[in-house]
Amino acid sequence: MEISGEKIRNKALGLGFSFCGFAKAGPLEKERTFLTSYLQRKKNAGLHYLERDPEKRTDPRLVVEGTRTVIGLLLNYFPQEILPEEDNFIISKYAYGKDYHDVLKEKTRALVLFLNDEYGPVAAKAFIDRGPVLEKAWARECGLGWTGKNTLLINPSKGSFHFIAIILTDLVIGPDIPEPDHCGNCSLCMESCPTGALENPYELDPSKCLSYLTIEEKATIPEEFRDTFHGRIYGCDICQDACPYNRFAVPHDLPDFLPGKELSSYRKKDWQNLTEEQFDFLFNGSAVHRMGYEKLIRNIRYVSRVTRHA
């Protein structure tokens, strides 16, 4: 029997999620075609996980048997204040505070408990940036936004600075209407990208993306990009900052996502002298910590031409 999603949506908003929507689980044909071509053209750089389970990746019913509905959830992380950029290096807004995986895990766990209390027993499994689930495509199907030319999910009323969580459930919930594409003739994100990683609309070339190069790249960062980093040592927000829909972004009110005093006070010379102990202290419980000290130091040296460890 199909149930209305309103009670679940209200609970999700009460838990602090910014948006919640529902979609009928099934194959994502357009994404399957795109993913096949993307992989054939070897556009995924070092993102080898995309090569695993392409069938599963485009059909959540193969990920969790019995899935009938996809629940899409967004959590706003747009900061109240941008960390100072003068005499400083830049880290992406999403990494200012506590690791979003932990914050979202807690909130999705509470929502799953609610589903069981209300409709139980319910099969419901949450996915946060892990597992073979195309989060952005499902968030779109759930009516939470569209995938912009910068390949990010754009919510029409609040922009793109959101984390996405997905819950796969065997509950049958009335679906929302997928959001249509509102990019139109705009191409500001593509024009703003300093490296040409968005040469083709709706397609990211990770091998040129500063976000990939600073966080995922395991090897040395190619010399050709040195003049494009402009002090970025973790992630890149340029194509989001350029998007006109982010004029509607409102600051979050989550203490978990606020930067610590220490991080706010850091300037170039502090980064350049960062010890492993300081790194552990500064990024304890943060997504940056997952990257490891050595990689951050590599990035700091890359943007500042420091040869401290040479």
What is the nearest approach in angstroms of ligand SF4 to the Cβ of residue 215?
10
Confirm whether 256 is a catalytic residue.
no
Q: How many CA atoms lie within 13 A of 23 on its CB side?
A: 27
What is the nearest approach in angstroms of ligand SF4 to the Cβ of residue 193?
3
* Residue 72 β-bridge partners: 21, 166
CB closer to ligand SF4, 69 vs 195 = 195
CB closer to ligand SF4, 197 vs 282 = 197
Q: Is 203 exposed, middle or buried (0-12, 13-18, 19+ CB in 10 A)?
A: middle
CB closer to ligand SF4, 18 vs 240 = 240
What is the nearest approach in angstroms of ligand SF4 to the Cβ of residue 239?
3
Report the run of H or E that residue 285 belongs to, with start and end.
none
Task: Give the Cβ contact number of residue 132 at 10 Å.
Answer: 18
CB closer to ligand SF4, 126 vs 238 = 238
Q: How far apart are CA 89 and CA 8, in angstroms?
A: 41
Q: How far apart are CA 161 and CA 308, in angstroms?
A: 35
CB closer to ligand SF4, 25 vs 209 = 209
By the 8 A CB rule, do 89 and 268 touch? Answer: yes
What is the nearest approach in angstroms of ligand SF4 to the Cβ of residue 126?
26
Give the residue from 96, 306, 299, 309 showing the smallest Cα distance to 213.
299
What residue ranges bind ligand SF4 (CB under 6 A)?
A: 148-150, 154, 183, 186-189, 193, 195, 197-198, 204, 209-211, 236, 238-239, 242-245
What is the nearest approach in angstroms of ligand SF4 to the Cβ of residue 169?
30
Q: How far apart are CA 108 and CA 104, in angstroms?
A: 6
* Active-site position among 53, 102, 129, 241: 129
Q: Which residue is nearest to ligand SF4 (CB)?
A: 148
Catalytic residues: 129
